[in-house]
Amino acid sequence: MRVLGIDPGLTRCGVGVVDVRPDRRATLVEVTVIRTPADMPLEKRLLAVGAGIDALLDEHRPEVVAIERVFAQHNLRTVMGVAQVSGVALHSAARRGLPVALHTPSEVKAAITGYGSADKRQVQAMVARILGLAEAPKPADAADALAIAICHAWRGSPMADTPRGPGSEPASAQTPAQAAWRAAERSARASAVPRRLAR
């Protein structure tokens, strides 16, 4: 399955394309960030973002488009920009007859790390591991777009119905990347204890 993921934003709109096999192994196809300057008129910013999304859709021909669902924030201006870009992306997908899926940030975090309250650093590290990259794509919007795409591709797998929480997944439900992350976390916690006691 080829999925194009979008982390909507006016100043930076992350777009990531991944191919995911039935065994859930994911491969990076492309990742980029579409940028628009804050001093550009709103309608031109939306046009520029739309043109960028259109170009990527036409070049990579995904089977589905996954977008981060607009999430309530205290900053109304930010929410409006995210909602407007989401609308542009929805329009671009609909014109091509592509199905669209919306995923909340917590859904994406749970799918990628196994924990719905994971921080951005954890999500970025897991995206790099899942895709076999030496480091996470930057800026964070790029890694987030890939996480959204992977989340959608993994949706409906046995792990999707597993209760989420730190260390809650049975070993058989974890991907190799998630198992590696759990092992790294356990190692970090174990090595931190002696240092605190030594003080």
Give me the pLDDT at residue 179, please.
53
The answer, yes or no, to whether residue 9 has pLDDT greater than 60, is yes
The answer, yes or no, to whether residue 21 has pLDDT greater than 70, is yes
Q: How crowded is the C-beta side of 159, counted as CA atoms within 13 Å?
A: 28
Please indicate whether residue 68 is annotated as part of the active site: yes
Write the pLDDT tens digit of every residue in 74-97. Answer: 667 778 889 999 999 999 999 999
Write the pLDDT tens digit of every residue in 97-149. Answer: 999 999 999 899 989 988 888 888 899 999 999 999 999 888 999 999 999 99
Catalytic residue among 68, 107, 144, 169: 68
Mutual orientation of helices 42-60 and 76-95 as an angle, nearest 10°? 40
Catalytic residue among 58, 59, 63, 141: 141
* Phi and psi torsions of 184, nearest 5°: -65, -40
3-state secondary structure of 11: coil
Give the separation between CA 24 and CA 46, rounded to whole angstroms: 34
Average pLDDT over residues 51-57: 98
The answer, yes or no, to whether residue 189 has pLDDT greater than 80, is no
Give the separation between CA 33 and CA 91, rounded to whole angstroms: 19
Give the separation between CA 8 and CA 88, rounded to whole angstroms: 10
Catalytic residue among 7, 107, 144, 169: 7
Question: Which of 12-26, 41-55, 59-73, 99-113 has the least mean pLDDT?
Answer: 59-73
